[in-house]
């Protein structure tokens, strides 16, 4: 049995620092590197690729909307053609740093609002899948378990991996509870850890309604911003290891 821990990295920009890239990277097996639109800049990308190479983490591109001021978290009414081109641009940009460092680009995971919108809209989802497949159809799409992106990847035959969140509640249809809802985030660490273990081993999670739903946990997203997030990521890692689950990328 195996599972993967992924984290978003390379989110600093110029003089601005976000995230403890050097501390989260020894914990995870897979990283998603921002590509300069919602976060990241060329020097930051280059450094993040070098760090991932050093620790042997699988490298993914983490493209987002052209909204640095909103960190790519605000929905934008971009057309499928725009989303497709935006992803190709950003994946290409990160690819260059991978080639320069002599490492392989492994996957693509859209960021923030683009992740959410393409997760819920089949036309955007197909745009994401086409964007990736046209560049390299061996690239893996990392997307929310049960989302339209997973569906579109399967339609097209693009390799994909399903992502789950340790500390988020799910709707009965498998969607993440929006952060605007009071119980969107689960604050009890024990409960989070137990949920992760169950998602990985049983493929089940209790939705916010109380009903069990199916979920596919190819990769668990963890955060690296702040000592608490790092400690929590380490606990997830240790729990999985103790339960005989090998940690490796998807």
**Rounded to whole angstroms, how far apart are CA atoms 58 and 223?**
16
> Is there binding between residue 88 and a copy of itself (CB under 8 A)?
yes
Question: Which residue in 50, 135, 177, 184 binds a copy of itself (CB under 8 A)?
Answer: 135
Subset of residues 18 to 47 that bind a copy of itself, contact rule: CB under 8 A: 18, 36, 39, 41-43, 45-46
Cross-strand bridge partners of residue 141: 108, 160
> Is there binding between residue 67 and a copy of itself (CB under 8 A)?
yes
Question: Which residue in 99, 138, 191, 228 binds a copy of itself (CB under 8 A)?
Answer: 99
Write out the two tokens for 14. 């110029």
Contacts of 175 (CB under 8 A, 6+ apart): 119, 120, 144, 146, 147
- Closest separation in Å from C-beta 112 to a copy of itself: 10
| Degrees to nearest 5, angle at CA 234 with 107 and 178 | 60
CA distances to 104, 201, 210 from 214, in Å = 32, 12, 13
83 burial type by CB count under 10 A (0-12 exposed, 13-18 middle, 19+ buried) = buried
Contacts of 89 (CB under 8 A, 6+ apart): 63
Subset of residues 167 to 186 that bind a copy of itself, contact rule: CB under 8 A: none
Q: How many residues would you count in the chain? A: 250
Size of the site for a copy of itself (CB under 8 A): 45
Question: Which residue in 26, 56, 123, 134 binds a copy of itself (CB under 8 A)?
Answer: 134
Question: Which residue in 26, 74, 188, 202 binds a copy of itself (CB under 8 A)?
Answer: 74
Q: What is the DSSP track for 141-154? A: EEEETTSHHHHHHH
> Is there binding between residue 227 and a copy of itself (CB under 8 A)?
no
Question: Which residue in 13, 115, 170, 232 binds a copy of itself (CB under 8 A)?
Answer: 13
Q: 46 or 216, CB closer to a copy of itself?
A: 46
- Point out which residues bind a copy of itself (CB under 8 A): 13-18, 36, 39, 41-43, 45-46, 66-71, 74-78, 81-82, 85-86, 88-97, 99-100, 113, 131, 134-136
């Amino acid at each position: 049995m195996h599972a993967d821990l992924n984290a978003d990295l390379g989110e600093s920009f110029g003089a601005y620092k976000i995230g403890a890239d050097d501390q989260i990277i020894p914990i995870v097996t897979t990283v998603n590197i921002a590509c300069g639109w919602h976060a990241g800049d060329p020097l930051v990308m280059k450094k993040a690729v070098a760090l991932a190479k050093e620790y042997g983490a699988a490298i993914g591109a983490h493209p987002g909307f052209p909204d640095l001021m909103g960190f790519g978290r605000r929905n934008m009414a971009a057309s499928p053609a725009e989303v497709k081109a935006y992803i190709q641009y950003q994946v290409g940009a990160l690819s260059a740093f991978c080639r320069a460092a002599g490492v392989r680009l492994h996957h693509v995971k859209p960021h923030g609002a683009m992740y959410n919108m393409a997760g819920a809209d089949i036309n955007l989802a197909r745009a994401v899948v086409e964007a990736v497949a046209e560049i390299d159809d061996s690239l893996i799409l990392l997307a929310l378990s049960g989302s339209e992106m997973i569906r579109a990847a399967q339609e097209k035959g693009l390799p994909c991996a399903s992502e789950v969140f340790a500390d988020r509640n799910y709707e009965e249809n498998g969607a993440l509870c929006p952060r605007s809802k009071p119980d969107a985030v689960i604050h009890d660490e024990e409960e989070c850890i137990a949920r992760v273990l169950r998602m990985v081993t049983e493929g089940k999670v209790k939705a916010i309604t109380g009903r069990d739903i199916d979920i596919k946990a190819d990769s668990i997203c963890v955060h690296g911003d702040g000592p608490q997030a790092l400690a929590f990521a380490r606990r997830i890692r240790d729990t999985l290891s103790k339960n005989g689950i090998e940690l490796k990328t998807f």
